[in-house]
């Protein structure tokens, strides 16, 4: 098996599907598929055996010789049988994005279109986001297959644009649809003394103060003393989250109140709101906490006028227990336990 120099892992698997770097032995099957599906491809003429052999001997072979090729092509398998191919094309190594390409065997489309596309998208996303740490992947498709758009939306892609009458095909102008997905993988580490300024800025963010049960601005000296005490507190878990570009995106703090209870709080950096990070931050931190403290029930208290937080906690696996007065403010009480 040939391997790409830019990838540490070259085979990606999910359930009964996998992809591996494009195989030379699949070139004739690929030729057949492409010629059968000319109607939706950016291919102006029928491929010949001679052209296909030359393409594989020059263009495809060259992809494995460079550190940053302009495309990464993969053969796609179901139960170890070749059923299609695709890859990341028009790769932009500076902006860390790439277009997705994929075609499957024509005779399998009627029965397996959605299933095969969905699994392929999951696999190629892992190549882009985990293997290459790319920021964004997208599709560029002639408006000919509306059933594809449902698959893309169900896989977390968003419709970015419809380019009206953008391409001339079969005697008429067609729209082009662009769907994309941004890398929202995140990780966390423990807060340290070096994070005191960062936490201070987050704590005094106007939105954070508005959602807090104490809306007054926090003096810097008070914050420093509080922060140092929390770092020393064995019952306080402070998770600092970063995105795939190592940018600080927010924090979650879980404070044990006794041997069976804890309270959770979250704040997200103003530059990273609305990106779906909050629910992931809550889920990852609460799961990590409960793994170490399986006997504890975590409580979250959320003001009634903060529906975004309620939605994030529900998505992270919290259940609404009751409505109550918390700190003399009408609130929702959410809980999560193992």
6 assigned to some structural domain: no
168 assigned to some structural domain: yes
| 3-class SS of residue 97 | strand
Q: Which of 185, 186, 115 is nearest to 155 (CA)?
A: 115
User: What is the structure's pLDDT at 113?
Assistant: 96
135 assigned to some structural domain: yes
Clarify whether residues 122 and 44 are in a common domain. Answer: yes
Which tokens go with 327? Answer: 């700190």
pLDDT for 16-48, tens place per residue? Answer: 999 999 999 999 999 999 999 877 776 668 889
Clarify whether residues 224 and 146 are in a common domain. Answer: no
pLDDT for 206-227, tens place per residue? Answer: 999 999 998 889 999 999 999 9
Neighbouring residues of 123: CB distance < 8 A, sequence distance ≥ 6: 12, 13, 14, 17, 18, 19, 74, 76
Clarify whether residues 120 and 199 are in a common domain. Answer: no
Single out the residue in 140, 164, 182 at which a domain terminates.
182
pLDDT for 305-323, tens place per residue? Answer: 999 999 999 999 999 999 9
3 assigned to some structural domain: no
3-state DSSP helix/strand/coil % of the chain, to nearest 5: 35, 35, 30
Prediction pTM value: 0.83
Cβ proximity of 289 and 283 under 8 Å: no
Clarify whether residues 176 and 195 are in a common domain. Answer: no
User: What is the structure's pLDDT at 88?
Assistant: 99
238 assigned to some structural domain: yes
Q: How far apart are CA 229 and CA 236, in angstroms?
A: 10
Clarify whether residues 230 and 175 are in a common domain. Answer: no
CATH of the domain at 32: 3.40.630.30
User: What is the structure's pLDDT at 45?
Assistant: 82
Q: How far apart are CA 31 and CA 250, in angstroms?
A: 49
2 assigned to some structural domain: no
284 assigned to some structural domain: yes
Residue 20 CA: distances (Å) to CA of 10, 67, 80, 117, 181:
6, 18, 11, 16, 22
Clarify whether residues 100 and 218 are in a common domain. Answer: no
Domain count, the chain: 2
Single out the residue in 182, 211, 234 at which a domain terminates.
182
Clarify whether residues 155 and 259 are in a common domain. Answer: no
Clarify whether residues 157 and 121 are in a common domain. Answer: yes
Domain region containing 159: 12-182
Clarify whether residues 116 and 201 are in a common domain. Answer: no
Clarify whether residues 68 and 80 are in a common domain. Answer: yes
Q: Terminus-to-terminus CA distance in the chain, angstroms?
A: 44
Single out the residue in 154, 182, 210 at which a domain terminates.
182
Clarify whether residues 163 and 16 are in a common domain. Answer: yes
Clarify whether residues 291 and 325 are in a common domain. Answer: yes
Q: How far apart are CA 4 and CA 2, in angstroms?
A: 7
7 assigned to some structural domain: no
Which tokens go with 202? Answer: 């987050």
Residue 60's pLDDT band (cuts 50, 70, 90) = very high
| 3-class SS of residue 267 | strand
Backbone angles phi, psi at 137, to 5 degrees: -130, 150
């Amino acid at each position: 098996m040939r391997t790409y120099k830019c990838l540490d892992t070259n085979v990606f698997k999910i359930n009964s599907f996998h992809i591996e770097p494009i195989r030379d032995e699949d070139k004739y099957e690929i030729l057949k598929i492409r010629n059968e599906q000319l109607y939706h491809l950016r291919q102006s003429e029928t491929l010949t055996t001679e052209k296909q052999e030359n393409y594989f001997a020059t263009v495809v072979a060259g992809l494995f010789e460079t550190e940053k090729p302009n495309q990464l092509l993969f053969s796609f398998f179901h139960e170890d049988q070749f059923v299609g191919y695709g890859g990341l094309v028009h790769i932009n190594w500076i902006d860390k994005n790439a277009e997705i390409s994929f075609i499957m065997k024509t005779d399998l489309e009627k029965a397996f279109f959605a299933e095969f596309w969905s699994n392929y998208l999951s696999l190629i996303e892992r190549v882009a986001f985990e293997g290459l740490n790319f920021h964004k992947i997208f599709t560029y498709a002639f408006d000919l297959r509306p059933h594809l758009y449902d698959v893309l939306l169900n896989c977390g892609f968003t419709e970015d644009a419809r380019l009206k009458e953008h391409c001339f095909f079969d005697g008429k102008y067609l729209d082009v649809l662009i769907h994309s997905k941004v890398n929202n993988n995140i990780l966390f580490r423990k807060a340290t003394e070096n994070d005191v300024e960062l936490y201070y800025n987050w704590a005094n963010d106007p939105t954070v103060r508005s959602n807090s049960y104490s809306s007054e601005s926090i003096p810097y000296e008070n914050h420093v003393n509080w922060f140092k005490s929390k770092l020393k507190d064995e019952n306080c878990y402070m998770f600092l989250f970063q995105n795939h570009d190592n940018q600080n995106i927010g924090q979650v703090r879980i404070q044990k109140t006794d041997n069976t209870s804890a309270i959770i709080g979250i704040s997200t950096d103003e530059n990273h709101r609305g990106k779906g990070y909050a629910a992931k931050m809550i889920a990852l931190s609460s799961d990590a906490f409960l793994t170490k403290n399986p006997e504890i029930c975590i409580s979250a208290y959320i003001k009634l006028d903060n529906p975004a937080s309620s939605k994030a906690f529900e998505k992270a696996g919290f259940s609404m227990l009751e409505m109550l007065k918390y700190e003399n403010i009408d609130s929702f009480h959410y809980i999560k336990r193992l």
